[in-house]
Structure 1
C-alpha cells in the first residue's frame, strides 16, 4: 500500500506546500526523517524524506537532491523555521532539474504528524483492500459455479483492476478479460509463462506494468497459468485473490475423482448405446443414489409446462437447487411434452421453495406434483406418481402432493377407459391445435377445472372471458361434445388428466 503525494498535500491540518508544480513522483510507502548529508545509502525507494536541512547546510544542494532522486525517493520535505527560514532557492532548482517533488513543511507542523498521516492512510487502505478481498472471494466462488473460467476471470479482473489471462501449459492464451487484450500484453504474457519453470509462480515488473504468473495445477499436473497484469505492483490482497482464483480454476480442470469417474462411465454408456443399442446403467444408478436421504429414499417432482418454456423452467430449478445446497438432478423429457423431472431427497421438503423460486408469470401455466418417498430402485414408480399428481394440480398453484392412497388415474383399467374417451374427444382437439396453432385443449381443461366459471378460467389463462368463450364454443364443435352435460364435463376432465396436455397417453 502507498499514499499519493496529492492526498498528502490535501491534508489541510498539515499545511504542506508543493514547491515543484507539475512534478508528482511515485507514491509514498513511508515517511522518514534524516539530517544526514547523504541519506541515499539507507533508502530503498518510495520514501518521503523529511529534513530541516541541518546535514545538507553548506553542501552542494544539487548533489544532495541528485542522490535522493537516484535512490528512488518519492519526495523531499524541507522543514522551515529552524535551519532555514525559507527553503533555499538552490534546493528548489535542483528538485526541478532532477524531477523529485519538493514540499515545504512549516514550523508548526511536526514531522511526526506527517509520518503518522502517511502510516494511518496506508493502514486504512490496507484494511479496505482486505475487506474488498473478503467480499470478492465468495463472488469469485459463485462465479466459478455458475459461469466457469470466464466468470472467474471477470471477477478477478474487477477486483485487481487489471488484465487477466488464462493460458494452457505451453503459454497459449485460452481465456482473457477483457475479451480482447493488446498484442503487446499478449506477447508479454506468453513470454513470462514460457520463461518459467513448470509449476512455479513469479512476479515481474516492467516500466509499464507488473505481471503476476500463478500456476493452475493439481497434484502432479500443471493445467495452465493464470496471469494478472496491472499498472501498479500487486497488493497482498491481490495475491490472495489470485491464489484463490487459481484454486477454483484447477477444480474446473480436475473435478472430484468420484464425479469424474461417474461421468466417464456415463460417457462410455452413451457410446455403447449408440453403437449397440445396449448400455450399462450402473454408473447412472450410483449417481442417482447420491440424491437419496439417509434411508435410501428419493422423491420425484414433476412439473408440466408449455413445451416452449420447459428448458427455461429446468434452468431456473437447477439454480434453485444450487442455492439450496442440494444435488442437481433435473431432466427435461421430450421437448413436445413440456415435462420437467426433478429428484429430491426422500426426507427433504424443498419442492414448495423450488416452485416459489419460479417467477409468477412463468408459473401461471405450470402444474407441479410431488411423489411420496420411494427407494432409489423404484425411481420410475416415483416419477409416475408425481406425474399423475401434477395432472391433478392447478396451473400456477402449489405443489400437488401424491396421497398415500394410489390415485384413481394410476389404475390401468381406469386409464384404458379414459383413453377411449380421449380418443373420441381430446385427440381431435389436439390435432386441431397442432394444425391451426390454437390452444383448445389447454383452454378446455382450464375451463373444466374452474367449474365453468368464465372469469376464473380466463384469468388463469391470461385472456378475456369473451376470448375464452369463443374457444370453448369452437372446442365443442371440433370434439362434437355438449358441455352442458355434467357427466360429459366430468368424463372430459378425467380424460384430459389421463392423457396429459398433449392429448395422448403418457408412458408409464
Structure 2
C-alpha cells in the first residue's frame, strides 16, 4: 500500500507524533477508538478516530485495552499539551491538529483508504493479467522475470523439495535465503522482509514462491505474489499425465525395450530423430519424492521427449546420449532435507531398434547404485562382475540364476528368502545392518539365512558360495 502515515498527516493538514510507529508505515484499516479491539498486523498501522474523552475512557478500561489501543494511530483535530502527555505516557502515535473534525474527519479517512485499496487492486489485477500472458508465451521462467520487475526486487520459485525451478533478479545469497525461509531451516537469513507463498494446496503441494522487494508497498506485493503463486501452480501442472497418457507411455517403453523395426518406427512417429538412445533408471529409497513429476520437469528443461514410464519406486526410460550428462548433474545435485539422495543407473548407448540391452544395463547400474548408496552409476563403470554377466549368454544366465530356484514359493515367485539373501550379501554379511534394512529382528534374519543354506546347499561362511550366490542374484536382476 502507498497510503502511509506521512500521507495521512499531509492530507488532513495535521502533524505526526511518533511514539514507536514510523511515519512511513502503511495504513491498512480504520476504526473508531471505542471499537478497536484487535491489532490486525504489526506491519501496518490502523487509524482510529474519536474524541479525547473516548480515548481516555479506553485507557481507563485496564492494561489490556490500553495496550491494544496504543498500537493504533489516533487522528484528531485537537492538539493540547494534556493530549500529548497522555499519548507519550501510553506510547501511542497520533496525527494531531487535523483541519477536519468528528464525522467529517472519519469519513475523509475512510474515503482515502477505499481509494488506495481500489488503486492497489487495479494494479494487482493488471499485473496478474500480464503475468498470465507472459506465462502462456514463455512459461515459468518468463513469468518470474516479469514478477521481479513488477515488484522491483527478486523472486525465487522452488519445488516441494526446495530445489530451484526458476529465479529472477536473485543472487547466490538470495537463493540460499529463499531456500532457508521456505523450508524453515534454522539459519541466519541475510535478507529481511522476505515473503513466502505456498504454490499448490496443502493436499497437493507443488512448491514455494519467495519474493523480496525494495518497495514499501508491502500489501500490493503480497497480493500480486499470491496471485503469481496460483499461476505457477497451474503452469507447473500443465504436463500432469492422465492415466491414459501414462498407459500410453508404458506401452511405448515396452515396445522400445522389445526392439526391432516396430521400435524404430515408433520412435520416429514419437518425434525423436536420434538413431541411438541411452537407457536410464531413477529411483529413491523414500516415497516423499515425486519421481514422475521430477523427471517430467527435468525433461522439459532439457527439451527432451517423454520416453519414460513410472514404476513403483522408480522411473525407467531412454534419453539422447548428449543429454545424459545434464540428467546426471541434476541427480547429483539433488538434495532433500531428511531424505536420501536419488539413485540413477545409466546404460550404454544403443540403436533405437535394439534398446533392450541398454535398458537391462541401466537396471543393473541402478541396482549397483542402490546397493552402494551412490547417486549415479554408469554401466560402463560397473565392477568386473557386471562385465562377466554381460559376457555370458541368456541361457547361461538362466542356468546361473537357477542356483536359487529352490527359494521360489509354490507359485514360482521369489519372496522373503531371496530378499533376505540379497540384503545380507549387499551388507557384507553384517547381521545387525541387514536386519535393520529389512525391518526384522536379527534372529529372524539368522533363521532366514539358515533356511537359504538348507534349500540351496550353499554356505554363507564359504567365500566361493557367497560369490556364487551373488552372481546368481545379479543374473536374476530383472526379477529382483
- TM-score (norm: length of structure 2): 0.44
Larger radius of gyration: 1
Higher relative contact order (CA 8 A, sep 6+): 2
